[in-house]
Amino acid sequence: MPELPEVETVRRGLEPVMEGACFARVEVRRPDLRWPLPKDFAVRIEGREITGLGRRGKYLLADLSSGDVLMMHLGMSGSFRVAKNGEDKTSGEFHHARSTNSGHDHVVFHMSSGATITYNDPRRFGFMKLVPRSELERDPLMRALGPEPLGNAFDAALLAKACAGRKTSLKAALSDQKVVAGLGNIYVCEALHRGHLSPKRRASSIATKSGMPNERAEYLVEAIRAVLNDAIKQGGSSLRDHRQTSGELGYFQHHFRVYDREGSPCPTRGCNGTIKRIVQTGRSTFYCPVCQK
């Protein structure tokens, strides 16, 4: 599932072809993705200009000149492909193979600039939704989101407060979008490794009894920001490096330190541990039992 860095990479890849352009024609090839597409979807967006393309957690938010926001989520397997002047533009190498089966091209945006943006999603867990900008804050999906981890408001105090009193593991807490928005299995594992904290540790152990942050909360916030910034940087360079080759916007090959590296030596300097895989709340967790305490 795409996490914050992948979605941000997609946003940066789409921004140049979307911002300032109009939807000239919209092809909707099926009535539903995860949920039914909005009624009169094409009619409501055709002829409208995209005045800005933002992101909140794992959601892409396109502001339209109509006053609506087009909310897009990639689900499990969604991707965007951009074609301009007969050439497919891209965004790098992907951690998971993306579908190239055009049978899964569900929505096609023909832009006023001549670019074509195709949404492909074999499993159809993604969705598109139109919400008036004035109601966005009240939208249940937006209200379910905690702080943006790269935003100014996110700090150790906020994270400790969200984790205080929680009996779940730190892994489970960080995967909860209400605690912090945009993290998933991969970047939670990576952040915990970078912060030298065990995924099995109780979430509440990063806070004092009164809910104040301790040193661990400070390390963890720094680790989360560093992991995400590194991944976005790598996604950005994959956008530049692979501009001329064919592919889709989305997943890029990230050099993970622990994720999917069971049995590999721990990359922490001076640590002689081996990366281990365990299952927590039904998902694989990768970590080093030696340097993550």
Closest CA to 223 of 276, 168, 281, 287: 287
Q: Based on CB atoms, which residue is closest to Zn ion, 16 or 273?
A: 273
Q: Based on CB atoms, which residue is closest to Zn ion, 183 or 258?
A: 258
| Active-site annotation holds for 46 | no
- Residue 199 CB, shortest distance to Zn ion, in Å, is 13
Q: At what angle do helices 156-163 and 215-241 cross, to 10 degrees?
A: 110
Which residues of this protein are in contact with Zn ion, per CB under 5 A? 266, 268, 271, 273, 288, 290-291
| Active-site annotation holds for 49 | no
Q: Say if residues 72 and 79 touch (Cβ distance below 8 Å).
A: no
- DSSP H or E stretch at residue 223: helix 215-241
Q: Based on CB atoms, which residue is closest to Zn ion, 132 or 265?
A: 265
Alpha-carbon distance of 170 to 185, in angstroms, equals 12
Active-site hit among 3, 6, 190, 248: 3
Alpha-carbon distance of 144 to 189, in angstroms, equals 22
Looking at the DSSP assignment, which residues form a beta bridge with residue 238?
A: none
- Residue 282 CB, shortest distance to Zn ion, in Å, is 25
Tell me how many degrees the CA angle 117-56-152 measures, rounded to the nearest 5: 135
| Active-site annotation holds for 38 | no
- Residue 273 CB, shortest distance to Zn ion, in Å, is 4
Alpha-carbon distance of 94 to 247, in angstroms, equals 9
Q: Based on CB atoms, which residue is closest to Zn ion, 46 or 262?
A: 262
Active-site hit among 55, 58, 129, 194: 58
- Residue 267 CB, shortest distance to Zn ion, in Å, is 8
| Active-site annotation holds for 58 | yes
**Residues with active-site annotation:** 2-3, 58, 283
